[in-house]
Amino acid sequence: MIPPTTSTTPDHPRQSHSVSTGKAGPYVELTGGSVKIINPWTKSKRRRLYSIPALLTTSLSSSVPHSCVFCHHPAHTAGGLGDLFGPYCVRGEEVWLHLDCVFWVPAVHMVRGNLLGLEEGVEQCKTLLCGKCETSGASVGCTQHRCEEVVHLVCGREAGWGMDEDRLDARCPRHRRE
């Protein structure tokens, strides 16, 4: 999903509103196994805001930059991470993510353009502490049998992990295949 833009041109075909107005654009809501795209604006002459969870309205109007729910970095950090995608509504919380980070979460799958298992993936990674920086949200785990090492993607790259994106095989430095 493309992050919301901040165009203030009223006749722009993909109109969105300034973040400072407190008005939110479309967002994705995940509940259980269902995915809903919520567009709070109608096509009628008089545009009006439908009911949006307070969290979304509050966070979209804040001046705090968004960060990835997994690695906690903003978009385009030095570690080679690209854009943030979101907001996704996971159990009432607004979350943003890097595709590179969510790519390694075992519970999350992309099927016909739909992101499935994000709720489970976020919950799982909240409890995993990175072996390098010791913060939560680690999404890359060593695939060596019985190894419990986990890291954030950028931390793993910095720590010398072997990561084969074609096979989704990640190995900590101790188990890395040369």
pLDDT in tens, 79-113: 788 889 888 889 888 999 998 999 899 889 888 87
Among 107, 140, 142, 110, CA closest to 124? 107
Q: What tokens were used for 2? A: 């493309």
Cα 156 to chain center, whole Å?
18
Confidence class for position 173, pLDDT limits 50, 70, 90: very high
**Distinct helix (H) and strand (E) counts, the chain:** 4, 10
Is pLDDT of 19 > 80?
no
Kindly report the number of other CB atoms within 10 A of residue 5's CB atom: 13
Mean pLDDT across 122-127: 92
How high is the pLDDT of residue 27?
64
Q: Which of 47, 95, 89, 93 has the alpha carbon at shortest distance from 71?
A: 95
Mean pLDDT, residues 72-78 taken together: 85
